[in-house]
Amino acid sequence: MKFAVKAWSSGKARAGVLQLGSCPGPIETPSLLLSTRKGLPHFIPPDLLYSLPSPDSHLFHVSSLHFLEGLSRQTISKIGGLHQMLGLPEHGFVCIPRDSIQCLPECNSSNKFGASFETPCGRRLIKPVEYVELISSLRPDIWTTLADEVPTWVSEKRNKTSVDRTIRWLDECIALNPAGGPVFGSIVGGCSVKERERCAQEAARRNLSGYWIGGFGLGESMDERPALLNAVTDILEEEKPRLITGLGLPEEILQGVAAGIDVFDSTYLCHLTLGGFALTFPPDGVEMNASDNIGSDQTKINLRATVYRKDMTPIVENCNCYTCKNHTKAYINHLLNVHEMLAQTLLEIHNTHHYIGFFRSVREAIKSGNFEQFRQKFVEGRCYHVAAEAAAACT
Amino acid sequence: LFGMALRFEVLGRFNRARAARLTLPHFVCQTPLFMPVGTQGTIKGLTTEQLEEIGCQIILGNTYHLALRPTSELIDDLGGLHKFMNWPRALLTDSGGFQMVSLLHLADITEEGVTFQSPVDGKPMLLTPEESIQIQNRIGADIIMALDDVVKTTITGPRIEEATYRTIRWIDRCIEAHKRPNEQNLFGIVQGGLDPVLRDICVRGLVDRNLPGYAIGGLAGGESKDSFWRVVAQCTASLPEEKPRYVMGVGYPLDIVVCSALGADMYDCVYPTRTARFGTALVPEGVLKLKHKAMADDTRPIDPTCDCMVCKNYTRAYIHCLVTKDAMGSQLLSYHNLYYMLKLSRNLHSSIIKGRFPEFVREFLQTMFPKGDVPEWVCNAMEVAGIDISSCCTPFSSPQD
Ligand SMILES: [Zn+2]
Ligand SMILES: [Zn+2]
């Protein structure tokens, strides 16, 4: 793994390149880490992955907890790890324990021995040694150390304990790391700037390939986030990549980018797809014109809405994703009505394609030194719409 | 003269078996062919691009389901089912009658049509032959099916006789109602239960109407395999040589090989996709249950002889951890199973063309029954088909013929 920052804008926002041995070309950051289920996208069949923008779509998030059951570590090793097992030799796999959908941290059951998670196979306590064994059979391109993630509402004491454990497990994971593969150190600390700083300082002191920032999207407000993010990124070495879980909405991504985050998980897209939503906002944020689209909040549309029953246009006019080039809103509306899986396949393709486009716009704004303007315009467009909607609701 | 929107050219034969080119308004097909079932205008998580890729020629849509949602009027408004689901190749729709009788309680058949309780509001509804055709005209498939009086093959007595004659009476109402004979082909359905006399009466009644093609209906409904193949053999023997023959609701790979040997051309079945949802893969040896514990450390592909996308990339162990838990499991297995069925169709076609059909049948049976325990009904059917499978049936046969 190699990483280099190529451009800065508006202070801390940065554009870089992440090179992974397996990927055909460098992946430009800020970048989207695609959510998977056991290593493959939730609904996009592997033979249709070529239709997504490359190499932007080659970074996959694998939840190591998905492999606690089903097949043994020995079998995974025998097959040759994730790249071989998933038939995707040119993709980059990033192992983070949780997936934020079915596998979530369960801080009340975590203890000094390991982190606890709710998983589809029940509540499971994972110790660093088991975790690293699993990682060594999966052979990901990047993996993060085990963390004790806690939500914002825990006590100050519990938050402190979470940082202590996360640092201890960081050392244990590094010591156990058999293949010496690229490790990203986990940083937690909840809503305490002090604890965030402490955890970041400890991580920055270790020999790590990059950082994973956890504990976001667990109850903190958008307003308190910049201070927490900046507290961490101010301490981290600039030349190492920073990955985050828990920021999903376009505004949240922009908030993270402003604080100097490079890679974002895509749980948000997964929730949209499962809910029957398709992203429709202009990826560059311009022309947020008031639309007569019912079932739209200017970012996305709900394809279950009856207004799309006879709509023979694609989700987004001129979108060149597989879905928009081949199918109409009316067809997807029908598929959702009759609970056919192809609806999710088509939505996941479009949403992924669309969000990758948004990230490209973000990068362009950084490279041209206009990130802050881009962000402001984008957020204002959204606020204007929300205000217009509220005004309409009052009359 | 009744309009026809198809051309059927037999390109090769072996005894009763035939390989043909079936030219439909939207696609030039090669028979024998298997039609995957796309009940609601889609096949279980597969894209139309994938279906083209694996060689699907005709997709079957269920009129009953499509009429309920999104409704045939909407499909018509939006330019037909081909456009609605973006499928450039051929489509076939059934009459809707069978689905009503099999899915709904209180469905009752009278001379007027099939009466049933609306699943939407519970009100009594009536599907007449005219209405079935009208709906299918709106959907716009390349092949549409006549409304027939469906009776379970296991029923005997006067009801079968009534159904046979009614099916013939209804075909005239279907023909009369068919408004797009130059774009859509109306197939008649041979009924008559397991009674050879009634089957014969029905075949003759339908053949007199000079339809573009014929289906053999009322099978795959619990009758014995021996009764099943005999009905197929009887019907294929008396249906016209120059028209396609479709055995409805069939079937398993073995059934398709046997029916093709007996001179049938087209098949449809939900089996490959349904069984995929339960974790079962179709393989030359029969079936492979991927849910089985033993699969958890099996690093071979599902079928080492298969060159589909799934077998080229995935191990049984990985599919094992997906099946029945994750959507991708049934997507990948459906893909493999349909690939298997479509490849079987292609192999049937090419082996007949190349004059090596008997060899193909023997290899197929030897792989599926390595111990030589070929079921008796298959042996009986192959005798009628004029294919010598004695080398497959003896327990101590040598590998060379
Ligand atoms: Zn699109
Ligand atoms: Zn296969």
Residues A75-114 pLDDT 10s: 999 999 999 999 999 999 999 999 999 999 999 999 999 9
Do residues B81 and B140 make contact, with C-beta atoms less than 8 angstroms apart? Answer: yes
pTM of the full predicted structure?
0.96
Residue B303 Cα, ligand 2 centroid: separation in angstroms? Answer: 6
Active site residue B148: no
Do residues B206 and B176 make contact, with C-beta atoms less than 8 angstroms apart? Answer: no
pLDDT at A291: 47
Q: Are the Cβ atoms of B84 and A309 closer than 8 angstroms?
A: no
Give the lowest-confidence range in A185-194, A283-292, B123-132, B360-369. Answer: A283-292
Give the long-range contacts of residues A47-54, CB within 8 A, separation 24 or more: A47/B50, A47/B53, A47/B309, A48/A322, A48/A345, A48/A349, A48/B47, A48/B49, A48/B50, A49/A88, A51/A321, A51/A322, A51/A349, A52/A321, A52/A349, A52/A352, A52/A353, A52/A356, A53/A353, A53/A356, A53/A357, A53/A360, A54/A24, A54/A25
Q: Are the Cβ atoms of B317 and A331 closer than 8 angstroms?
A: no
Which residue from B74, B327, B335 is facing A310, i.e. has the nearest CB? B74
pLDDT at A129: 96
Q: Are the Cβ atoms of B315 and A85 closer than 8 angstroms?
A: yes
Q: Give the tens place of pLDDT for each residue, A283-308.
A: 876 554 444 445 566 789 999 999 99
Which residue from B77, B313, B327 is facing A87, i.e. has the nearest CB? B313
The nearest CA of chain A is from the CA of B232 a distance in Å of 34
Range B140-163 average pLDDT? 90
Chain A hits for B84, Cβ within 8 Å: 328, 330-331, 334
Indicate if the pLDDT at residue A389 is higher than 90: no
Q: Are the Cβ atoms of B48 and A326 closer than 8 angstroms?
A: yes
pLDDT at B1: 42
The nearest CA of chain B is from the CA of A338 a distance in Å of 7
pLDDT at A149: 97
Helices (H), chain A: 73-79, 82-85, 128-138, 156-176, 193-205, 225-233, 250-258, 267-274, 322-326, 329-337, 342-367, 371-394
pLDDT at A290: 45
The nearest CA of chain B is from the CA of A344 a distance in Å of 8
Q: How far apart are CA A375 and CA A132, in angstroms?
A: 39
Residue B302 Cα, ligand 2 centroid: separation in angstroms? Answer: 6
Whose structure tokens read 């849509």?
A: B61
Give the lowest-confidence range in A61-75, B77-91, B107-121. Answer: B107-121
Q: How far apart are CA B314 and CA B260, in angstroms?
A: 32
pLDDT at B401: 42
Q: Give the tens place of pLDDT for each residue, A17-72.
A: 999 988 889 999 999 999 999 999 999 999 999 999 999 999 999 999 999 999 99
pLDDT at B333: 98
Range B141-164 average pLDDT? 90
- Which protein residues have a CB closer than 5 Å to ligand 1 (ion)? A 319, 321, 323-324, 350
Q: How far apart are CA B175 and CA A243, in angstroms?
A: 66
Q: How far apart are CA A203 and CA A50, in angstroms?
A: 37
DSSP A26: P
Angle at B60 between CA B56 and CA B62, to 5 degrees: 155
Q: Give the tens place of pLDDT for each residue, B346-355.
A: 999 999 999 9
Q: How far apart are CA B382 and CA B337, in angstroms?
A: 25
Indicate if the pLDDT at residue B20 is higher than 80: yes
Length of chain A: 395
Residues 44-83 of A with CB under 8 A from B: 45-48, 67, 69-72, 74-75, 78-79
Q: Are the Cβ atoms of A338 and B65 closer than 8 angstroms?
A: yes
The nearest CA of chain B is from the CA of A85 a distance in Å of 6
Pairing of strands A104-105, A115-119: antiparallel
What are the tokens at A241? Answer: 């990549």
Q: How far apart are CA B334 and CA A341, in angstroms?
A: 12
Q: Are the Cβ atoms of B49 and A85 closer than 8 angstroms?
A: no
Do residues A128 and A155 make contact, with C-beta atoms less than 8 angstroms apart? Answer: no
pLDDT at A382: 76
| A298/B contact by beta carbon, under 8 A | no
Q: How far apart are CA B316 and CA B324, in angstroms?
A: 14
| A340/B contact by beta carbon, under 8 A | yes
Pairing of strands B266-269, B33-36: parallel
Residue partners of A24: CB distance under 8 A and separation at least 6: A54, A55, A58, A90
In percent, how much of chain B has pLDDT > 70?
A: 97
Which is nearest to A31 in space by CA: A56, A55, A13?
A: A56
pLDDT at B350: 98
Q: How far apart are CA A383 and CA A389, in angstroms?
A: 10
Nearest chain B residue to A47 by CA: give it: B309
Give the lowest-confidence range in A286-300, B45-59, B60-74, B373-387. Answer: A286-300
pLDDT at B54: 98
What are the tokens at B206? Answer: 């339908």
Chain B hits for A42, Cβ within 8 Å: 327-328
Range A107-122 average pLDDT? 95
B125 has which bridge partners?
A: B116
Chain B hits for A337, Cβ within 8 Å: 69-70
pLDDT at B124: 83
Helix (H, G, I), strand (E, B) or coil at A116: strand
Length of chain B: 401
Q: How far apart are CA B33 and CA B90, in angstroms?
A: 12
- Ligand number nearest CA of B340 is 2
Among B94, B148, B265, B303, the active-site one is B94
pLDDT at B99: 81
Range A354-362 average pLDDT? 97
Average pLDDT over chain A, rounded to whole? 93
Q: How far apart are CA B15 and CA B385, in angstroms?
A: 7
Helix (H, G, I), strand (E, B) or coil at B99: helix
Which residue from B44, B77, B296 is facing A72, i.e. has the nearest CB? B296
Best residue in A47, A51, A137 for a mutation probing chain B (most B CBs within 10 Å)? A47
Phi and psi dihedrals of A111, rounded to 5?
-145, -170
Which is nearest to B392 in space by CA: A319, B376, B384?
A: B376
Indicate if the pLDDT at residue B342 is higher than 70: yes
Residue A320 Cα, ligand 1 centroid: separation in angstroms? Answer: 6
Residue A286 Cα, ligand 1 centroid: separation in angstroms? Answer: 18
What are the tokens at B336? Answer: 């493999």
Indicate if the pLDDT at residue B102 is higher than 90: no
Band of residue A390 on the pLDDT scale cut at 50, 70, 90: low
Among B142, B255, B268, B303, the active-site one is B268
Give the lowest-confidence range in A237-241, A270-274, B153-157, B213-217. Answer: B153-157
Q: Give the tens place of pLDDT for each residue, B310-321.
A: 999 999 999 999
Q: How far apart are CA B45 and CA B331, in angstroms?
A: 6
Best residue in B48, B51, B87, B299 for a mutation probing chain A (most A CBs within 10 Å)? B299
Helix (H, G, I), strand (E, B) or coil at A338: coil
Q: Are the Cβ atoms of B328 and A69 closer than 8 angstroms?
A: no
Band of residue B3 on the pLDDT scale cut at 50, 70, 90: low
Q: Give the tens place of pLDDT for each residue, B276-306.
A: 999 999 999 999 999 999 999 999 999 999 9
Q: Are the Cβ atoms of B78 and A310 closer than 8 angstroms?
A: yes
Alpha-carbon Rg for chain A in angstroms:
21
Indicate if the pLDDT at residue B211 is higher than 80: yes
Residue B308 Cα, ligand 2 centroid: separation in angstroms? Answer: 4
Q: How far apart are CA B219 and CA B225, in angstroms?
A: 10
- Ligand number nearest CA of B336 is 2
Whose structure tokens read 């206009």?
A: A370
Band of residue B105 on the pLDDT scale cut at 50, 70, 90: low
Chain B hits for A313, Cβ within 8 Å: none
Phi/psi region, residue A295 (left: phi>0; alpha: psi -120 to 50; beta: rest), is: left
Residue partners of A308: CB distance under 8 A and separation at least 6: A295, A301, A329, A330, A332, A333
The nearest CA of chain A is from the CA of B140 a distance in Å of 16
Nearest chain B residue to A337 by CA: give it: B69
Q: Are the Cβ atoms of B335 and A71 closer than 8 angstroms?
A: no
The nearest CA of chain A is from the CA of B306 a distance in Å of 16
Helix (H, G, I), strand (E, B) or coil at B196: helix
Band of residue A388 on the pLDDT scale cut at 50, 70, 90: low
pLDDT at B397: 47
pLDDT at A386: 64
Query: What's the burial of B363, exposed, middle or buried (CB within 10 Å: 0-12/13-18/19+)?
Result: middle
Active site residue B94: yes
